C-alpha cells in the first residue's frame, strides 16, 4: 500500500462491514504495530514516558477512525476524523524526538514519518469522500 491512500482505494462506509475494513484503519493498525515494536526497544526509563506517549497517540489514530465509523452524522464523523489526523501529527512529532535521541535510525524514521504523513492525507481524503454522501 502506498504512503498516500487514494480516494479510490478508500471506498465508502456503505461498502464495508466494519471500521476494520477501511483502508485508513488497516494502514493505521499496520503502523501501530511498528510503533509497538520500536517502543519495546526503548530504554527502561522511557517505558512510561516517550514510549507510552507514542503508543497512545498511534493507538488513538485507529481508535478515532473506528469511533468515526460508528457516528451517524457527517459533522460528528468529520470532527472525530480530524482528531485522528491530529494524532497522526502527534505521532510524527514523537518519532522526530526518538530520532533525536537515537532510539531509531534515520531509515526507520524516514519510512514511518512518510507513512504517517500519507495516512494523514488518506484521512483527509476520506473526510472529503464522506462529505459527498
119: left (phi over 0), alpha (psi -120 to 50) or beta: alpha
Domain range holding 50? 7-131
Does residue 93 fall inside a structural domain?
yes
Number of domains forming the structure of the chain: 1
Query: What is the structure's pLDDT at 132?
Result: 78
DSSP 19: G
CATH for 104: 1.20.1440.60
- Domain assignment of residue 2, yes or no: no
| Contact partners, residue 3, CB within 8 Å, separation at least 6 | 114, 115, 117, 118, 119
> Under 8 Å CB-to-CB from 103, ≥6 apart: which residues?
38, 41, 42, 43, 46, 50
Note whether residue 56 is domain-resident: yes
User: Mean of the pLDDT values across residues 4-22?
Assistant: 61
Please indicate, yes or no, if residue 20 is contained in any of the structural domains: yes
Domain membership of residue 1 (yes or no) is no
15 inside domain: yes
Confirm whether 13 is domain-assigned. yes
3-state secondary structure of 66: helix
For residue 6, the model assigns a pLDDT of: 37
Q: Would residue 89 count as lying in a domain?
A: yes
Print burial letters for 63-91: b (CB count within 10 Å at least 16), e (below 16). bbbbbbbeeeeeeebbebbebbbbbbebb
- pLDDT confidence band for 5 (50 / 70 / 90): very low
What confidence tier does 21 reach under pLDDT thresholds 50, 70, 90? very high
Share above pLDDT 90 across residues of the chain, in percent, rounded to a whole number: 81
C-alpha cell at 13: 462506509
pLDDT at 77 over 50: yes
The pLDDT assigned to 9 comes to: 40
Q: What is the pLDDT of residue 47?
A: 86
Amino acid at each position: 500500500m502506498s504512503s498516500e491512500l487514494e480516494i479510490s482505494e478508500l471506498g465508502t462506509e456503505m461498502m464495508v462491514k466494519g471500521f476494520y475494513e477501511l483502508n485508513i484503519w488497516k494502514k493505521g493498525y499496520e503502523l501501530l504495530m511498528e510503533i509497538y515494536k520500536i517502543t519495546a526497544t526503548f530504554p527502561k526509563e522511557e517505558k512510561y514516558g516517550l514510549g507510552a506517549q507514542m503508543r497512545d497517540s498511534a493507538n488513538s489514530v485507529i481508535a478515532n477512525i473506528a469511533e468515526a465509523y460508528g457516528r451517524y452524522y457527517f459533522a460528528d464523523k468529520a470532527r472525530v476524523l480530524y482528531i485522528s489526523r491530529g494524532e497522526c501529527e502527534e505521532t510524527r512529532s514523537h518519532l522526530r524526538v526518538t530520532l533525536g535521541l537515537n532510539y531509531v535510525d534515520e531509515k526507520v524514521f524516514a519510512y514511518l514519518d512518510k507513512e504517517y504523513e500519507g495516512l494523514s492525507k488518506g484521512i483527509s481524503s476520506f473526510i472529503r469522500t464522506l462529505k459527498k454522501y
